[in-house]
Structure 1
Amino acid sequence: MTSPALATVQLLGAVVAIALASYAYRHRDRPGVIWLVAVLFGNTVWMVAAGINYATGSTTVSTAMLQVRYVGITVIPVALLFFALSYTGTDEWLGRRRQLLIASPAAGALALALTDHVHGLFYAGVTPASNPQQIAYEYGMVAVPWIAYAFVLVVAAAAVFVRYATITDGVYRWQALALAGVVLMGTAADVLYFLPVPPTGFAITPLAILLSSAIAVGLVVRYDFVRLVPATRELGRRELIERMELGMVVLDADGRVIDVNPAAAKLLECDLEAVIGEQAPDSLPGPNGPAIAERTFNVDGIDRDVEIRTHRVDVGSGITLLTLRQLDDLTDVVSHDLQGPLMEIRGSADMAIATGDITHVDRVLAAANRIDDLATDLLELAHTGRGLEARESVELAEIAETAWRHLWTPETELVVETDRSVIGDPDRIQQLFENLLRNSVEHASSDHERGDDGIDTIAYSEATGDDVTQAQRTTRKSTRESNFDPVDERETAPADGGRIVVGSLPTGFYLEDDGPGIPPEKRERIFEKGYTTSQTGTGLGLSIVGRIVAAHGWSVRATEGSLGGARIEITDVDFVDESERTG
């Protein structure tokens, strides 16, 4: 091959390297990709220097290019090691100081190569020759240690990928081994160059590095198998995750599965090896799905509700962690819902004793019937799980006031500021409101007397007859009866009582109170089962709310209300069309 042809090959390779580096840079959010860009930069300098060397007829220019190429050569092995460490998630220890320490020999070699014409230590001799490079040279006493160090860095990078392959499985293993081979391609080309196998003076190493870089960029960008899960699966932590009863699925930005543990694979009825790298099953929410969702899976022949929580782990790379938990603890849920009817029984019984009015016994009987209904539901839920039994028009005001009557707290006022209707399961929506209202009552900031155990004790009125009836009407007064004027409601609110408001949002509805509110750092956790800020709370009420919201495909969040207390917003709701209601 003539010198012009060799020059053309090297310069075209440099153009390809620039294009590939530009493409990789656009995906620099992937772990390790920025170091691949550095490799391609170094390779571009090397190929440009080689191309000019082949194209020129000047010994002076060829000698200068012999020095310039080391601007690229010294970058490549260092960048390859940093790429391997970053991509496999083992770069936590690689701080700025260690980076400088590893790169220092390369910087020293570059300085010596560029100033060789002064001291002659890097090259023992450079003479004119008839080969394609126009010159012949021998390495000097300081070049040999650098070459050995460069080989060590490249072999270390390959070893990082090999180690990575030993602690992973499936597609991770073959990908790690492929990257180890890619890293060693340049070293193999170097060995061939020194034998020499190619034509004397033909630099095949930068071409091999170009090919290996293209393969590496393709693997990283195409599969995006970042370090999140493999890094956590090292050594003993791998066994821990695989033995967890909580299902775990990790998705990339495109919705592909990049890891799954056995618990999740059992729920999804999929093979651990086969699902890696494939699109997530349709039964799972995607990377942009709701924070909490509920799906039904068949587990051992029985339909089970499964709560799926979406955690955006890395916004930059789009990595999403899904946790799957079977909701088979239905006994806890239903026993928690018994508290509402029991509160009603206690309150009505106290009022019957205090006033002598036997009509309060009706409320006791109604609450007892509700307990019976909940017990019946428990049997059904325990065997089949529970989805939505009906989807029909539900008036928010009516269902909220029905739930309020079950709680019956004379010292707290409910204000309903919406006349919207939603599509959903009436029983589940009533259950949702009962839990929200109970939570607001229990954490109200009103002047309720508190017992030694920290539980609110309602100061019941000593009034009798019509006075009691009027008090009941006031606490249940709705703004539907006052043209939605909240000012009127404040004027009739109990002087020492709490206040709860139910209102509309553009895409849903909310419930807020005038209690102490929820600290911002705790708002993400309040819908977790068992999480409570009260010493006597069960931590189930708002988790039940989260389940009901997920079953409807809605979204829920906690924030600060206009009354200064907690505000629970439920969005992505299907409203009944107003024209259908009025028509």
Structure 2
Amino acid sequence: MEDRCRVLMEALDTLDDVFYVYDADGQLLYWNARLNELFDKTDAELEGMAPTEFFVAADRPDVEAALADIFESGWTIVEARAETTEGPVTFELSGQLITDEDGTVLGFSGTGRDVTERLEREWHLERQNDRLTEFADLLAHDLRTPLAVASGHLELAAEASPSEHVEAAKAGLDRLEAIIEDIRTATREGTLATDEVTVDLAAVAQAAWSHVETDGAVLEPPAPILVDADEERLLRLFENVFANAVTHGPVSDERVTVRVEATAEGFAVEDDGRGIDPEDREWVFDPGASLVADGTGFGLYIVRAIAEAHGWAVSVTDGERGGARFEFDLDADTTGQ
């Protein structure tokens, strides 16, 4: 038994996390060597210390409240900062009540994990998201003025000389306004609201193809596929997938052929172009990601945002004809992403 205890203590001393045991009075009873290292204290100095003594004054009330939680509910998790031999560290502290068979409280045990880097990453990500939101707002503001000017001139042109070309230009400006609003919504809420009805996916895809500069590319007429979706959002999704195929897909001067087909999970969009390298597939849906120098990097990000707004998952793989294949799983659970 003594050998087992020694092995256990030696194993705890190998942990990067701090391990501790406090008695029922809140005095330090046992700890691993990591605590000695971080606070440069001997065993004699550590013995009997209170939990709050390790942390900066501003965080001690939170630690005291966490201690009360342990004795009231049996467990706790709290974050607190400390000055250590390795510099300022933020710890994620856990506590689990220890009782005997009769329910008598003996104390509590737990671990202290260094989460400083994780919190810094989260802070930087939050800052990036804030900047993205600011950028979207500025973009919307700066674009709407020339859009209003262009719309006004088109109205005058339509009055002076009605033309289907003028109407097409007006429709294009209306779609640009909708796109601006979608980007603002996506950056503010992380997703896009949907108003779903039963639509023919094939018809929406063909309408989207007419909005894209195809540069000689061909869309194979898809068979009817009924899905529950927001038609306007689905139109945007197809426009961006098609634009990606036309822009990034061609090999030399060969024209790209695109097809839309039903799958067991939902549907797929596939082209016979150059495809997307496996090492690039993890980040092509990230905002700002682009495989070409003059790309904006938001096309496939918007595709994923629209898919997830519907509760769908999207992934990219190899097409049967060597190009890129975007697969949409309509039954995926994306709530935890």
TM-score by length of 2: 0.60
| Contact 1:407–1:434, Cα closer than 8 Å, also in 2 | yes
Q: Which amino acid aligns with 1:85?
A: T
Aligned pairs for 1:190-269 (under 5 A) are 230-233=113-116, 237=117, 240-241=120-121, 244=123, 246=125
User: What per-residue deviation string (whole Å, max 9, x for no partner) do you get for residues 382-441 of structure 1?
Assistant: 999974342101111110111100114251001143311111111111001101100111
- The percentage of counterpart residues that share the same residue type is 27
Shift of 1:238: 6.7
CA distance in 2, matches of 1:177, 1:414: 57
CA contact 2:186–2:192 (8 Å) conserved in 1 = no
Larger helix proportion, structure 1 or 2?
A: 1
How far did residue 516 of structure 1 move? 1.4
Task: Give secondary structure in 2 for the equivalent of 1:515.
Answer: coil
Letter in 2 for 1:559: T
What residue number does 2:287 align with?
529
Equivalenced residue count is: 257
Identify the residue that residue 551 of structure 1 maps to in structure 2. Answer: 309
Q: What is the 5 A alignment of 1:11-410? A: 43=1, 73-86=2-15, 88=17, 157=32, 160=35, 166=54, 170=66, 171-172=76-77, 230-233=113-116, 237=117, 240-241=120-121, 244=123, 246=125, 328=133, 331=136, 363-374=168-179, 387-410=192-215
Partner of 1:500: 258
1:394–1:89 distance in 2 versus 1, CA, 3 Å: farther
For the pair shown, which has the larger CA radius of gyration, 1 or 2?
Answer: 1
Amino acid of the structure 1 residue aligned with 2:233: R
- The residue type paired with residue 290 of structure 2 is T
CA contact (8 A) 1:330 1:381 kept: no
CA displacement 1:516-565 (0-9 Å, x = unmatched): 11111221111110111211111100111111111111111111111111
Of 520, 528, 538, the residue aligned with 2:296 is: 538
- Structure 1 residues 421 and 365: alpha-carbon distance in aligned structure 2, compared to 1, 3 A threshold: same
Partner of 2:269: 511
Consecutive unaligned residues in structure 1, runs of 5 or more: 1-42, 44-72, 91-153, 183-207, 209-214, 248-262, 264-323, 339-357, 449-495, 575-583
- Structure 2 distance, partners of 1:410, 1:539, is 20
CA distance in 1, matches of 2:273, 2:16: 49
Deviation string, structure 1 residues 500-531 (Cα, Å, up to 9, x no partner): 11111112111111121111122111111011
Q: Which of 218, 227, 233 is the matching residue for 1:422?
A: 227
Superposition map of 1:451-466 within 5 A: none
- In 2, the alpha carbon distance for the partners of 1:505 and 1:333 equals 40
1:276-304 Cα offsets, whole Å, 9 max, x none, are xxxxxxxxxxxxxxxxxxxxxxxxxxxxx
- Post-superposition CA distance 1:4-36 (Å, at most 9, x none): xxxxxxxxxxxxxxxxxxxxxxxxxxxxxxxxx
| Aligned twin of 1:275 | none
Q: CA RMSD in A?
A: 4.7
8 Å Cα contact 1:333/1:540 also seen in 2: no
Question: Counterparts of 1:177 and 1:523 in 2: how far apart (Å)?
Answer: 38
In structure 2, stretches of 5+ residues that fail to align are 20-28, 40-50, 67-75, 80-91, 101-105, 144-162, 333-337
Deviation (angstroms), 1:81? 3.0
Q: 1:241 to 1:564 in 2, by over 3 A?
A: closer
Superposition pairs of residues 414-453 of structure 1, within 5 angstroms: 414-448=219-253
**Residue number in structure 2 paired with 1:104:** none
What is the TM-score with the length of structure 1 in the denominator? 0.37
Q: Which residue of 1 aligns with 2:152?
A: none
- One-letter code of the match for 1:431? R
C-alpha distance in 1 between matches for 2:34 and 2:186: 53
Q: What is the letter of the counterpart of residue 120 of structure 2?
A: L
